[in-house]
C-alpha cells in the first residue's frame, strides 16, 4: 500500500512540475522535477513488481 501511494505521489509531483513548467513562472528546474519524479515513480514501480514476485515466491500473499 505504501509503495503504491509513493508511486502516486511521484506521479502527482511530475504532473505538478509539468504544469508549472508550462506557465510563465516555469523554469528549467520544474522540468528537472518532472524527469526526477518520473524516474522515481518508475523505480518504485519496478521495486513493487519485484516485491510482489518475491512474496509470491515465499507464499506470503
Q: What was the pLDDT predicted at 61?
A: 59
Asked if residue 44 lies in contact with residue 10, where contact means CB atoms within 8 angstroms, the answer is yes
The domain ranges of the chain are: 2-57
Runs of H (alpha helix) within the chain: 2-21, 28-57
Is the pLDDT at 6 greater than 80? The verdict is: yes
Is the pLDDT at 39 greater than 90? The verdict is: yes
Residue 46 exposed, middle or buried by CB count within 10 Å (0-12, 13-18, 19+): exposed
Q: What was the pLDDT predicted at 31?
A: 97
The whole-number average pLDDT for the span 13-28 is 96
Residue with cell 514476485: 53
Report the percentage of the chain scoring pLDDT > 90: 87
Amino acid at each position: 500500500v505504501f509503495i503504491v501511494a509513493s508511486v502516486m505521489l511521484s506521479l502527482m509531483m511530475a504532473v505538478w512540475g509539468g504544469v508549472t513548467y508550462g506557465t510563465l513562472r516555469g523554469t528549467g528546474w520544474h522540468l528537472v522535477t518532472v524527469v526526477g519524479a518520473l524516474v522515481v515513480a518508475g523505480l518504485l514501480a519496478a521495486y513493487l513488481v519485484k516485491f510482489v514476485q518475491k512474496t509470491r515466491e515465499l507464499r506470503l500473499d
